[in-house]
Amino acid sequence: MSWVFLTRAGSEQDLVDELGIHKAPEVLTEGVVCAKERPRGPDGHLTDPAFARQAMRLEAHVSAHPDKVVRRVIKAIKAHQPKNKGARSWSWMLQVVSPDSSDPLDPRRKVAATLEEVLAERLPTALPAPVLAEQADLENAERLVQVWVLDEERVCVGLTAATQALSRIPGGRTKLKRPADAVSRSGLKLEEAIYWVGVGPEAGDLCADLGAAPGGWTQVAVGRGATVIAIDPAKMKVDLPKKRFVHAKQSAFDYAPPETLDWVICDMAWRPLEVAQLLAKWARRIWARQMIVNFKLPMQQKAKMLKQVLKVLEKAGWHSLRARQLFHDRDEVTIFGYLDPSRAHLAAQPAFEMRSGPKSAGGVKGGKPRKKSVGRKVKAPRGRTKGRAEARGRGRSARGAGPRTARGAARGRGARSGRGARGGPRGRSR
């Protein structure tokens, strides 16, 4: 059975690219893509395409005439009722949707409004009482009875298990209202991401906000009770309690947290692969246990770039990665993931530091002369003469075998060169 997906207007080709040619995707109209199959993960379970907002298990394409739509919806509901006599019918909810459009006067909206009104009037008299009694609200419906308007002449009718839909909200449009005190609209993206994932920064959590200015995401996290370290050299425009907010005026690429944090969040306008490498570093050094990050994608080949970003994050140790172009995202994708549980309990690893700086004008590293290694011997070249070997032996007898290093003593022999005890890299011997 085919699947139909709703997507953001203008992102149809991105969804087609993500689904791949083996799924035979096809753009039906603006904001709607159909495919013969839905992607599955390695475990065989259905996966959620990142560039889709909602999914429908297609029953039929029918005429947009109200009578024909009513008959097809009733047929779909009855066809999926339990066959066993006495078995309870599943709860359901009707959703009539006009897909996303770049046209503010899209005529499909009027068609959808008319169909919704007609269905609400006729279904109560056409369905059996036990089935009608199972009509439920948004949170309790087990099935979504979906009607999507393709144009003024055609509609798609489908019936989808709520657990297989991408969202319970009609059309997958999680519309949120911007608070009056919000410093930017970006905070809506984090609020929607938390609703989508089902978890986010909360009371008692310590969170880092990379590229935080002007403070939209920090404001949301602090509002949920978390303590936030906002990292950005630019000025923050939020007035928040000092006990739960600190501004680190430095680049997000240079910052290293003092301990493993509960969350790292990021809505930084930067190249996606560089942001992915930054978050990969946070995973490798165990700097945060969970992340919600918004990636800005290029204008072309968004699906290809997203695949590269996910590969970088997964290789670094982020697990159960989920990606979605949310309603409040534009040319962006939001990604959630958590640290490998086998590593999350370990302490944060310190940032890497160079032992010596770059060469100075005088040709000396770090601007300081290096100390000469004491007692260091230079190996004689192969084929050395007998005289050289004897001289080398006499020199060794005069100086003695020298102190044993920890590694050399463990092997039952002295350190020939004295490296590790008197010069050279610490703790090394040959």
Q: Which of 281, 296, 307, 365 is catalytic?
A: 296
Residues 6+ apart with CB under 8 A from 345: none
Strand partners, 207: 228, 263
The whole-angstrom separation of Cα 359 and Cα 345 is: 39
C-alpha count within 13 angstroms, C-beta hemisphere, residue 300? 0
In angstroms, the CA 111 to CA 131 distance is 26
Catalytic residue check, 359: no
d(C-alpha 351, C-alpha 272), whole Å: 22
Is residue 328 within 8 Å of residue 189, measured between CB atoms?
yes
Which residues 6+ apart lie within 8 Å of 423 measured at CB? 371, 372, 373, 374, 375, 376
**CA 241 to the chain's CA centroid:** 29
Dihedral of alpha carbons 65, 71, 75, 76, sign? positive
Cα distance between residue 247 and residue 213, in whole Å: 10
Cα 140 to Cα 3, 26, 129, 168, distances in angstroms: 23, 32, 19, 10
Q: Could you check whether the bond before residue 214 is cis, i.e. omega within 30 degrees of 0?
A: yes
Q: Which residues are catalytic?
A: 296
